[in-house]
Chain A
Amino acid sequence: MGQRTDAEVAVSRAQPGVDPAKVEQFAQLLAKCQRRVFLYVLTLVHRAADAEEILQETNLVLWRKFDEYRPGTSFERWACRIAYFEVMKFRQRQSRAERLFSDEFIEALAAESEASESALDARRTALADCLKKLREADRALVLARYRAGATTRSVAEALGRSIQGTRRALHRIRMALLSCIERTLAAEERA
């Protein structure tokens, strides 16, 4: 038997109260879309902690509304749509000062994000290759910055570097990664 995912573990606890086939189907669909929904939400709310909270809420809504999902259609797209409404609810709970952007701006980003869905897998594969090509010091910096709970400030303090310098270095690396992804995709297209 293969390894079980978190989703399967979680829903297996529910077996005394729900239809096992429905649980199994939901678990499989949910496990596959988590990364995508997280990315989608993050692009709209920008803060990782907020995105995680909204992801949780979205997952609960997905389960509650699972009977409304039409098999054969894209679960991922349906999940992102529900996530969009959760983002809007989240924004309503925020104070005006916390809302940096207008609803129109968020809608524009959401539409752009939905349009980019098909390219995400290829970009992710390219990113994995590009990370390997980074200089060792740059790779270590990315690793330090993106570990759980780290911030640019905490990494700067740990390295004894200025925050500005660390921020610039991270920006330079991100730009290099974006450029590398574009080159990789262009090369694949030519091949």
Chain B
Amino acid sequence: MPVEPHSEIAELAALLCDGELAPDQATRLEELVTASAEARRFVLQYLQLHGELLWDQAGEAGTQRRWTLALDEEFRRAVPSDRRHGLSRPARWVAWAVAASGALVLLGWLVLAGRPVVREGLGGPVARVAAAVWGEPACGMTALPVGSELFEGEQVQLATGLAEVHFANGARVILEGPARFDLVSRGRLFLHEGRLAAQVPVHAAGFTVGVAGALVIDRGTEFGVVVEPQGPFEVHVLAGCVDLQPDGQNAWAKPAAAAARRLHTGQAVRVVHALPGAMPLFQEIALREDRFVWAMPGPQTGSVAGLRRMVTSEPSLIHHYPFEGDSVAQRLADHRGRLHLAEVVMAGGEGAGQLRTGCRGWDPTTRAVRPFRGLARGNSEGVGLQSENLFLPPAEMTVELLLRLDEEAPLDGESVCAAATLQGENGCAFLLAAVGRGRLAFRLEDRSDWAFGRPDSATMPGHPGFRLIPGDWYYVAATFQTENSHTLASAYAANLSRGERTLHTVLRNQPLAGIVSAGRLGIGKGAGEHSMHAFPWPGELDEVAIYGRILDLATLQRHLAAVLGQGTEP
């Protein structure tokens, strides 16, 4: 007997596909399916239909490409690194990493030892990689050197970093990773995901950036385009004008009929969803010139990738969480030791919400992680990270990381935790926390007082404590030296967003009661149930490094310089 659309089983199957099935509904669905073979068959067919549609519409361009990259990583391990890249040069800014997977056109080429090995079915060269800065050789990426030609029909993925691409028609585009784009012609690209800044001389007018459902056609200008992973996109016009018009190329859609919308200097629009063949519905937003990179950084410019290289070369590094990688598992892995992280719900919490990996970090060469905390219910809806195995802190230790507090973070009277060790359910050593309005704070025993970071008296006299400015990125490092029953702690910080190139000493040899307890390592996660609450970190965390010795101030200063570069003094 056919299942009716409004039957209970059909409604539950629909909720399941839409990701909206509540736990009690799941229990009911399970009962129905267990009791009836017909119900079981129906649910399976409903799910299979859902899967077929997913695969048809997104799979060719998405799923297949992603598994290809994952597979490639496996092979990468099997191939000696000198044969794999063949591109290493001593300079910091020499190459970039891209994946040249065939994806939509099911064709592709790659560069091995700096020359094409496979290249079939693509058109002629339409663009060239003019400059690049790169983070790290990302998982599954095949390196592509500066100067490489890019071919019509080719798809390129930029994992991190920046790449400047010059099109044959004269347009110059800076793409910021993570980004994925197709080379359509000598004057056109299709941006699946990521952000780009285009500078188009008058003679190259007509240069076109395709996005899902729409075309951005240049009329001789400078403009930026952002395509978010979920599909919404923005167009920002810095100078000149562009036309935004529907793209009716989809096989299912009618030819474009609606007129283009012209955007002029200073205008920006956001399109939540564009249906093929119809004029995109958009809302005007404020121009954000600072969202785009309009010029490639020079050799004196620092980056998180530069910090990462410095960190990994430090022999005393024992645990390292750069939060990079293609899969969530890779992003939560300890890249130096075996203290891998896993998502965990806060003590006593309900686990609503999701921790996010792959978030935008301080610069384009990195991705960060973002714990989840419910705004309304605080700790009861929090998700952070915790090591799967026990962390055994050495007697001397340095913890270093980059962090940012949300601008809208509810900080009054709350403690939020960036790094901690969790001793069962009964204790928590806060290696780094922010307490009430973003004051940096440290505490190793439940019942002791917080030690608040003090600013340099020279730079901030009379300041009540070192405060993190919400919305700004910081470099922070703290050292811990165990001495019998207490610990000497020092801490240093610098505001990256404001270009602070000198570390503030916010805590200097401050005796803290207790020692750093052995236990699970918490990142963005605080106390156990009997300890004072610390909410999940409301913002991003990145590049967490733990060293088995006290790094001196000069070393930490060099790490900061790696992020910000040498700069030029005013």
A43-B51, A56-B327 known; A5 vs B106 contact (CB < 8 Å): yes
- Majority SS at the chain A contact face: helix
Q: What's the minimum C-beta distance from B524 to chain A, rounded to whole angstroms? A: 16
For the complex, give the distance between the alpha carbons of A116 and B230 in Å. Answer: 32
A-side contacts of B23, CB under 8 Å: 97, 100
B-side contacts of A102, CB under 8 Å: 30
For the complex, give the distance between the alpha carbons of A6 and B63 in Å. Answer: 11
Q: What's the minimum C-beta distance from B106 to chain A, rounded to whole angstroms? A: 5
Q: Quick check: A148 and B55 within 8 Å, CB to CB?
A: no
Q: Quick check: A13 and B101 within 8 Å, CB to CB?
A: no
Q: Quick check: A171 and B75 within 8 Å, CB to CB?
A: no
Q: Quick check: B44 and A112 within 8 Å, CB to CB?
A: yes
Q: Which of B272-299 contact A (CB under 8 A)?
A: 272-276, 281
Q: Quick check: A9 and B118 within 8 Å, CB to CB?
A: yes
- Is residue B56 contacting chain A, with contact meaning CB distance below 8 A? yes
B-side contacts of A64, CB under 8 Å: 74
Q: Which residue of A lies closest to B7 (CB)?
A: A175
Q: Quick check: B118 and A12 within 8 Å, CB to CB?
A: yes
A-side contacts of B52, CB under 8 Å: 39, 123-124, 127
Q: Quick check: A157 and B273 within 8 Å, CB to CB?
A: yes
Q: Quick check: B71 and A154 within 8 Å, CB to CB?
A: no
For the complex, give the distance between the alpha carbons of A1 and B119 in Å. Answer: 12
For the complex, give the distance between the alpha carbons of A101 and B83 in Å. Answer: 47
- Is residue B120 contacting chain A, with contact meaning CB distance below 8 A? yes
For the complex, give the distance between the alpha carbons of A95 and B345 in Å. Answer: 8
For the complex, give the distance between the alpha carbons of A36 and B350 in Å. Answer: 35
Which stretch, B13-21, B161-169, B528-536, touches the partner chain A?
B13-21
Which stretch, B107-115, B414-422, B494-502, B543-551, touches the partner chain A?
B107-115
Q: Quick check: B230 and A113 within 8 Å, CB to CB?
A: no
What is the 8 Å Cβ interface bit string for chain B, positions 215-253, against chain A (1 contact, 0 not)? 000000000000001111000000000000000001011
Q: Which of B71-90 contact A (CB under 8 A)?
A: 71-72, 74-76, 78-80, 83
- Is residue A52 contacting chain B, with contact meaning CB distance below 8 A? yes
- Is residue B47 contacting chain A, with contact meaning CB distance below 8 A? yes
Q: Which of A62-83 contact B (CB under 8 A)?
A: 63-64
Q: Which residue of A lies closest to B79 (CB)?
A: A17
Q: Quick check: A9 and B328 within 8 Å, CB to CB?
A: no
Q: Quick check: B252 and A39 within 8 Å, CB to CB?
A: no
Q: Which residue of A lies closest to B104 (CB)?
A: A6
Q: Quick check: B101 and A9 within 8 Å, CB to CB?
A: yes
A-side contacts of B276, CB under 8 Å: 140, 143
Q: Quick check: B46 and A174 within 8 Å, CB to CB?
A: yes
Which stretch, B33-41, B128-136, B144-152, touches the partner chain A?
B33-41
A155-B273, A158-B273, A171-B10 known; A6 vs B102 contact (CB < 8 Å): yes
Q: Quick check: A6 and B103 within 8 Å, CB to CB?
A: yes
Partner of A18, one of B3, B43, B75, B273: B75
A6-B102, A53-B327, A97-B351 known; A147 vs B343 contact (CB < 8 Å): no
- Is residue B262 contacting chain A, with contact meaning CB distance below 8 A? no
- Is residue A29 contacting chain B, with contact meaning CB distance below 8 A? no
Q: Quick check: B14 and A170 within 8 Å, CB to CB?
A: yes
Partner of A6, one of B30, B65, B252, B350: B65
- Is residue B513 contacting chain A, with contact meaning CB distance below 8 A? no
A-side contacts of B527, CB under 8 Å: none
B-side contacts of A171, CB under 8 Å: 5, 10-11, 14
Q: What's the minimum C-beta distance from A188 to chain B, rounded to whole angstroms? A: 17
B-side contacts of A122, CB under 8 Å: none
B-side contacts of A155, CB under 8 Å: 273
A10-B75, A43-B44, A174-B49 known; A105 vs B16 contact (CB < 8 Å): no
For the complex, give the distance between the alpha carbons of A12 and B5 in Å. Answer: 48
Q: Quick check: B75 and A46 within 8 Å, CB to CB?
A: no
A16-B83, A52-B62 known; A140 vs B44 contact (CB < 8 Å): no
Q: Quick check: B5 and A172 within 8 Å, CB to CB?
A: yes
Q: Which residue of B lies closest to A94 (CB)?
A: B343
- Is residue B567 contacting chain A, with contact meaning CB distance below 8 A? no
Q: Quick check: B108 and A9 within 8 Å, CB to CB?
A: yes
Q: What's the minimum C-beta distance from B221 to chain A, rounded to whole angstroms? A: 27
Partner of B102, one of A9, A34, A53, A179: A9
Q: Quick check: B275 and A158 within 8 Å, CB to CB?
A: yes
Q: Quick check: A148 and B61 within 8 Å, CB to CB?
A: yes
A-side contacts of B30, CB under 8 Å: 101-102, 105
Q: Which of B351-380 contact A (CB under 8 A)?
A: 351
For the complex, give the distance between the alpha carbons of A57 and B204 in Å. Answer: 45
Q: Which residue of A lies closest to B343 (CB)?
A: A95
Q: What's the minimum C-beta distance from B318 to chain A, rounded to whole angstroms? A: 24
Q: Quick check: A147 and B57 within 8 Å, CB to CB?
A: yes
Partner of A109, one of B17, B40, B101: B40
- Is residue B523 contacting chain A, with contact meaning CB distance below 8 A? no
- Is residue A118 contacting chain B, with contact meaning CB distance below 8 A? no
Q: Quick check: B350 and A52 within 8 Å, CB to CB?
A: no
For the complex, give the distance between the alpha carbons of A119 and B179 in Å. Answer: 39
Partner of B63, one of A30, A38, A158: A38
Q: Quick check: B49 and A151 within 8 Å, CB to CB?
A: no
Q: What's the minimum C-beta distance from B43 to chain A, rounded to whole angstroms? A: 7
What is the 8 Å Cβ interface bit string for chain A, positions 122-163, against chain B (1 contact, 0 not)? 011001000000000001101111111111101101111000
Q: Which residue of B lies closest to A182 (CB)?
A: B2
A9-B102, A52-B63 known; A98 vs B351 contact (CB < 8 Å): yes
> By CB atoms of chain B within 10 A, which of A56, A102, A155 has the most?
A56
A-side contacts of B451, CB under 8 Å: none
Q: Which residue of A lies closest to B352 (CB)?
A: A97
Q: Which 5 A-B pairs have the closest CB atoms?
A: A158-B273, A14-B75, A146-B57, A148-B58, A56-B70
Besides A6-B108, A13-B112, A154-B231, 12 other A-B contacts (C-beta < 8 A): A16-B112, A39-B51, A42-B50, A97-B351, A101-B29, A105-B33, A112-B41, A116-B41, A127-B49, A150-B231, A159-B273, A167-B14
Q: List 14 A-B contacts (CB under 8 A).
A: A5-B106, A6-B64, A10-B75, A14-B78, A16-B80, A97-B351, A100-B21, A101-B29, A112-B44, A140-B275, A143-B276, A144-B275, A151-B230, A178-B46
